[in-house]
Structure 1
Amino acid sequence: MWMSDKCPYGSWYNYEKEMEQAEKDFPGMIFTCYFEEMKKDDTGEIQRLANFLGIPCTEKTIENIAETTSFNHMQKNKLDMTEVISGKGFIYRKGEIGDWKNHFTVAQNERFDVQYTERFKDSSYKLSFEQNNGLQNSKL
């Protein structure tokens, strides 16, 4: 469903491209943060958000936000609307970069790689995907 753009909430590809366009149309109005970047440097990304919002934060405040928004904390205190809709929750899995590849078959992974490359060939976005031997940055 996700790769064929038939999700009830729309296409991820279209959403990302629309957000990229909105950032170009309204510079300085949209803050973009990715899960992968939060996993690599949560306090750095939170500080980047505080700077974007113009809110001075102490190191302790940044650390408290990092703890409260950590995957473990959110998983313990979760509200997963997908569970309400479908009876099966899926938003909170492992909290690891690249775990989605474990849910795809080899053929689906190959199909995604082709779709991803084609749909974002003109994009300036960059995403990181966990690969077998480490982190590979992909242009998005």
Structure 2
Amino acid sequence: MMLDAGICVRSLELDDRNQQMELPPRPTLFDFRGVSMTTYFTDNWDNVQRFQARPDDVLIATYPKAGNTWVSYILDLLYFSHTAEGRDSVPLFERVPFLELYVPGFPIGVDELNELTRKPRLIKTHLPVQFLPRSFWEQNSKIVYVARNAKDTAVSYFHFDRMNLAQPEPGDWSSFLHRFMQGKMVFGSWYEHVKGWWQKKQSGSNILYLFYEDLIEDTERELGALCSFLGLAPTAALTEAVMKEALFDSMKRNALVNGSTATSLDLNVSPFIRKGKVGDWKNHFTVEQNEQFDEDYGEKMTNTDLQFRTVL
């Protein structure tokens, strides 16, 4: 994907702005109503809960590192490829604002969304289902939830925390994996997150529950399911363009998608868009860690029919 002059100019402007910002020390986890969080996602809590969703909003909900950026970009392409609307100059995180984000010196998610004029508003969240503002249910807004298998999520989250200065210190892989199994992650337990949204989906016709592994295996098929859910009928040409631009290699090269404009991300440590593979956990888990994880997983996922694939 070729970047035009507008992208380069915008990137330089953002670099200048970012160089003037200094993040405070890495945040620490604390228990927030039964869920591990940091102040970057709770300090604006009342305004988040008062957020007024609209019937035509589209919410992309995931546990961290489960494909939120990928699906957000796909939806942005589907809805707005035909318009200028800053697609060649505005970073994806501004086109799809992060609802609960409240980091000093950065755009506030709620404020960005309230100022957004284009329709539909595409909204990012990592909130567990019980924390979602009531207005999304009252307005019957469309919600796309994406779930990724626990092992690959843990690996991706580890590398993300290594490079994201707005996240708690990850420690080494072994200690990180132990905390992941305990649910002591920002946004809480992976197990409770995926199960909570899965249970809500059973009674909510406004929720499409997608699996990251299915998206990797057959992106075009899942794109069709996504469009059917949203009532979209893209042309063959648009479908082809979306498939091409949303490839991981294309996204890694796109300065407006790959995190290179965000000052909190140290891309020298690890890429923001790293691999996008299924089964990378095999390169990190020891035999003993895998056995312990499988035993713990079996206990935590006993009372659900939710199934994941860890290999393709």
Smaller-chain TM-score bracket: 0.7 to 0.9
Q: 1:3 aligns with which of 148, 169, 181?
A: 181
Please say if residues 71 and 95 of structure 1, whose CA atoms lie closer than 8 Å, have aligned partners that are also in contact. Answer: yes
* Mapped pair 1:101 → 2:282: yes
Question: What is the DSSP-based 3-state SS (H/G/I as helix, E as strand, rest coil) of the residue aligned with 2:310?
Answer: strand
Please say if residues 180 and 189 of structure 2, whose CA atoms lie closer than 8 Å, have aligned partners that are also in contact. Answer: yes
* Mapped pair 1:121 → 2:289: no
59-68 or 44-53, which moves further after superposition? 59-68
> Aligned-pair distance for 1:80?
7.4
Q: 2:253 aligns with which of 76, 82, 90?
A: 76
Please say if residues 183 and 189 of structure 2, whose CA atoms lie closer than 8 Å, have aligned partners that are also in contact. Answer: yes
> Aligned-pair distance for 1:49?
0.1
What CA deviation, in whole Å up to 9, does each residue of 1:69-125 have, x standing for no partner? Answer: 221122223127998268844653322211023112212111221122222222222
Comparing both structures, which one devotes a greater share of its residues to helix? 1
* Mapped pair 1:46 → 2:223: yes
- By relative contact order (CA 8 Å, sep 6+), the higher-ranking structure is 2
* Mapped pair 1:20 → 2:201: no
Normalised by the length of structure 1, the TM-score is: 0.78
Report % sequence identity.
Answer: 32
RMSD: 2.5
Counterpart of 2:284 in structure 1: which amino acid?
A: H
Assess, with a 3 A threshold, how the Cα gap between structure 1 residues 82 and 2 changes in structure 2: closer, same or farther. farther
Q: Distance in 2 between matches of 1:83 and 1:70?
A: 24
Any unmatched runs of 5+ in structure 1?
136-140
> Aligned-pair distance for 1:30?
1.0
Counterpart of 2:213 in structure 1: which amino acid?
A: E
> Aligned-pair distance for 1:16?
0.3
Counterpart of 2:249 in structure 1: which amino acid?
A: N
Q: Distance in 1 between matches of 2:285 and 2:249?
A: 24
Please say if residues 259 and 272 of structure 2, whose CA atoms lie closer than 8 Å, have aligned partners that are also in contact. Answer: no
Please say if residues 68 and 74 of structure 1, whose CA atoms lie closer than 8 Å, have aligned partners that are also in contact. Answer: yes
Any unmatched runs of 5+ in structure 2?
1-178
Q: Distance in 2 between matches of 1:118 and 1:81?
A: 41
Name the larger-Rg structure: 2
Question: What is the DSSP-based 3-state SS (H/G/I as helix, E as strand, rest coil) of the residue aligned with 2:222?
Answer: helix
Please say if residues 43 and 63 of structure 1, whose CA atoms lie closer than 8 Å, have aligned partners that are also in contact. Answer: no
32-41 or 88-97, which moves further after superposition? 88-97
Q: 1:34 aligns with which of 211, 220, 223?
A: 211
Counterpart of 1:84 in structure 2: which amino acid?
A: S
* Mapped pair 1:112 → 2:293: yes
47-56 or 7-16, which moves further after superposition? 7-16
Question: What is the DSSP-based 3-state SS (H/G/I as helix, E as strand, rest coil) of the residue aligned with 1:117?
Answer: helix
> Aligned-pair distance for 1:60?
2.3
Q: Distance in 1 between matches of 2:243 and 2:297?
A: 30
Aligned residues: 130
Q: 1:56 corresponds to which residue?
A: 233
